Structure 1
Amino acid sequence: MDFPYSRLRRWPDVEADNLQAYDATDLLLVDRALSLGVDGREIAVIGDEYGAITLALTDAGLDGVRVHQDLATGRRALARNAAELDLAGFSSHELESSLLAGARLVLLQLPKALAELEEVADAVARWAAPDVVLVAGGRVKHMTIAQNEALGRSFAEVRAERAERKSRLVVASAPRPVPAEPPFPVTARHDGLTLVAHGGAFAGAKLDIGTRVLLDALGLDRSRLGANATESAENTPNRPDVTRSSGVMGGERPSSAPTVVDLGCGTGALAASYALAHPESRVIATDRSAAAVASARATMVANGVDDRVVVTHDDAGSEIDGARADVVLLNPPFHLGSSVHTGAATRLFEAAARILRPGGELFTVYNSSLGYRAELTRLVGATEQLERTPKFTVTRSVRR
């Protein structure tokens, strides 16, 4: 009996008519795995967005399949879809040895970032069985020769197969000897701020342009970090006084130290910068990407603020109590996987509205062409523009 792919849902991720919980690549990977006759306990699945690969294998009778999903939304979708279909027989892991030890077959939905692919390929060559075969798949329009080259750094044999249904499989085998230390995470310094990044973290160890613009608008640019950062930020003209938390647009300063949330924190640049500049604050950094969370935790350690910043793997701050935060910092994504879609940003605006106390402030940076100001006003409250560059806009919204 064919697996009921159509019953799978993306929930709690964004759902829309043009967004499915599976694609042709999932089907090709499942068909290949079933044709090879490998025991389920020797199979690892990486990048299974909503559980289509894992659940199809368990539905076919394979037991003990191990799976790694980067996104918290994917993990929740897998659990929900498994419950809906009454399926079990798999276990979830981080990208570490427990995922890959003894694995003879690894199925991979190709990630968009080459750095993430390089980290995954190294992990498979490092921890899986010596005769492991890595079968990676993707949509043809998103595949490049550079992906084959990345796989070739960890495997002696890399072979691309003929496309089917606009998807293609690439088979890598004969793992090469691995270096003593993994290639990730990587570290970079930016004028007083240290960023640490795993392969799957957005922008890597670079300080992306949008974050730079937001840091500058808040008076938290890297040149002012350190012992005099708070004084410098307070005395910089035309900067919002974030040291006083909310109330910049008419409220009262809270009697206790402000609670600040870096929502969708990535490598933790905003959270670390805020904690360095304002050691009296309570900072929560949260992201739905496991790679981002691991990176942000390492970033906090590198900057000596890990005792003052809590980093959580969560979906849109769902585990943060409502009306708790005084300030939310947000640099939202405008992609869902390989699709341009504003739904991810909308969910984060809604999350900010939920976790901010009345009068609390949301500081957002976004691509100016997206024109989010009206939506921020509708979902959060009165919104004004703080800064605009040719590419980015920074706004401040006060929770109604």
Structure 2
Amino acid sequence: MTPDEVLAQLRREPDVEAPDLVAVDATDRLLLDTAGDLTGQRVVVVDDAYGALTLGAVAAGARDVRVAQDLLVGERALALNAERTGLSGTHRPGSLDAALFDGATLVLARAPKAFDALRELTELAAAAAAPDVTVLVGGRVKHMTLGMNDVLRTGFAEVSATLARQKSRVLVARGPRPGVAPSFPRCRHDDALDLDVCAHGAAFAGARVDEGTRLLVAALDAAAPDARTALDLGCGTGVLAAVLARSRPDLEVTATDQSAAAVASARATLARAGLERVRVLRDDAAATVPDASVDLVVCNPPFHLGAAVVTAAADRLFAAAARVLRPGGELWAVYNNRLPHRAALRRLVGPTRAAAHDRRFTVTVSTRR
């Protein structure tokens, strides 16, 4: 099959499907077109949304395609699309590390939202890829800034940009600079919590503690005092899991997140604190946690899906909390005051009351019916 024939078969499954949502967009197509002849190329793909870059590169003749995807739903969509197109087994999934980039001649990447995520990719590609590597980073024009060029220049001597096409653009980097070394995860000591917080580039909030998490931490002494098991749902860098495990030595704590960067960051944070007993899982909405098995869930849910402010991601986590909580168990959540989560918490979990608030955030406790 030609690349166009492959791309025409791709779907978003298991992610949300809707008439106005696509599995292949203009950025995917521009990246593949900019790459040109892929015959024999050793390709690394970073954060392929649903498999367009990976399977498009395979169909165009790439001989060694390695893929790192931060979100678990993206991995699953790629696997389903590879099966759908008869291309299963033609790529190698991996972690975002130096081994992934070893000897690569081409890197195809969707532009990340966070500069640190681009910085981590830049360091790894410059340190481990082939000397003649070309790095292509594509995104929507409205989400790309000149600062991205500056980040790429920390690792590469030549950085340029393509002309825009269908509101997308690609940054092109060549000539790895000598002496560039990977620097992630980066750790920073938080004085208020007396905790070293470690973060990979794509982890939410990086190595700092966001204000919503601080408000929830301050309220946790009152959370389910008789709990024997706890779950940090959407754990990010693992701050909540670390606070719970450190303050309650007899509490069995699990932390889950669907982001590979979050899971790696949480493991680093917990290891730095000597809390390796906390179990950290890469999981989508606690899918592998048994029903009615947890006494306490803590959650600082995301309020963005891509660039849009939506409630769907939080509602999925609230529903997951309801499933894993035992009757009488508690969900302690924090969210921005302007978001209408309290009604959803009552509907999905049970009776809900405010436990703390400030000018921006509210902490609620919901009791499982």
TM-score (norm 2): 0.95
Q: CA shift at 1:12, angstroms?
A: 3.1
Specify which of 223, 242, 245 is matched with residue 272 of structure 1.
Answer: 242
Distance 2:250 2:51 in 1: 42
Distance 1:344 1:241 in 2: 24
Q: Please say if residues 8 and 81 of structure 1, whose CA atoms lie closer than 8 Å, have aligned partners that are also in contact.
A: yes
Distance 1:157 1:129 in 2: 15
SS at match of 2:225: helix
Question: Is it true that 1:287 corresponds to 2:288 in the alignment?
Answer: no
- Which letter maps to 2:185? P
Q: Please say if residues 63 and 90 of structure 1, whose CA atoms lie closer than 8 Å, have aligned partners that are also in contact.
A: no
Gaps of 5+ in 1: 220-239, 246-257
Q: Please say if residues 285 and 312 of structure 1, whose CA atoms lie closer than 8 Å, have aligned partners that are also in contact.
A: yes
Gaps of 5+ in 2: none
What is the correspondence of 1:335-374 to structure 2 with a 5 Å cutoff?
335-374=304-343
Flag the 1:137–1:75 CA change in 2: closer, same or farther, 3 A.
same
SS at match of 1:394: strand
Flag the 1:16–1:334 CA change in 2: closer, same or farther, 3 A.
farther
Deviations 1:80-115 (A, max 9, x none): 221222223111010123311111111111100000
| Aligned twin of 2:355 | 386
Specify which of 236, 244, 247 is matched with residue 226 of structure 2.
Answer: 244
Q: CA shift at 1:79, angstroms?
A: 0.9
- Which letter maps to 1:44? V
Please identify, of 16-25 and 265-274, the stretch whose mean Cα deviation from structure 2 is larger. 16-25
User: What percent of counterpart residues are identical?
Assistant: 51
Deviations 1:172-229 (A, max 9, x none): 00010134x522111111231121111111111101111001111223xxxxxxxxxx
TM-score (norm 1): 0.88
Q: CA shift at 1:261, angstroms?
A: 0.4
Question: Is it true that 1:183 corresponds to 2:183 in the alignment?
Answer: yes
Specify which of 18, 26, 29 is matched with residue 27 of structure 1.
Answer: 29
Flag the 1:14–1:215 CA change in 2: closer, same or farther, 3 A.
farther
| Aligned twin of 2:166 | 165
Please identify, of 161-170 and 383-392, the stretch whose mean Cα deviation from structure 2 is larger. 383-392
SS at match of 1:178: coil
Q: CA shift at 1:358, angstroms?
A: 1.5
Distance 1:175 1:64 in 2: 21
Distance 2:10 2:37 in 1: 25
Question: Is it true that 1:115 corresponds to 2:116 in the alignment?
Answer: yes
Distance 1:389 1:18 in 2: 37
- Which letter maps to 1:395? T
Specify which of 201, 206, 209 is matched with residue 207 of structure 1.
Answer: 209
Q: CA shift at 1:299, angstroms?
A: 0.5
Distance 2:16 2:250 in 1: 36
SS at match of 1:218: helix
SS at match of 2:136: strand
Q: CA shift at 1:9, angstroms?
A: 2.9
Aligned residues: 364
| Aligned twin of 2:127 | 126
Distance 1:16 1:366 in 2: 27
Question: Is it true that 1:97 corresponds to 2:67 in the alignment?
Answer: no
Distance 2:17 2:346 in 1: 23
Distance 2:13 2:245 in 1: 33
Question: Is it true that 1:314 corresponds to 2:283 in the alignment?
Answer: yes
Q: Please say if residues 275 and 309 of structure 1, whose CA atoms lie closer than 8 Å, have aligned partners that are also in contact.
A: yes
Q: Please say if residues 243 and 278 of structure 1, whose CA atoms lie closer than 8 Å, have aligned partners that are also in contact.
A: no
Structural RMSD (CA): 1.5
| Aligned twin of 1:222 | none
Distance 1:193 1:243 in 2: 22
Q: Please say if residues 355 and 363 of structure 2, whose CA atoms lie closer than 8 Å, have aligned partners that are also in contact.
A: yes
Q: Please say if residues 3 and 59 of structure 1, whose CA atoms lie closer than 8 Å, have aligned partners that are also in contact.
A: no
Deviations 1:251-278 (A, max 9, x none): xxxxxxx110000000000000000000
Q: Please say if residues 38 and 57 of structure 2, whose CA atoms lie closer than 8 Å, have aligned partners that are also in contact.
A: no
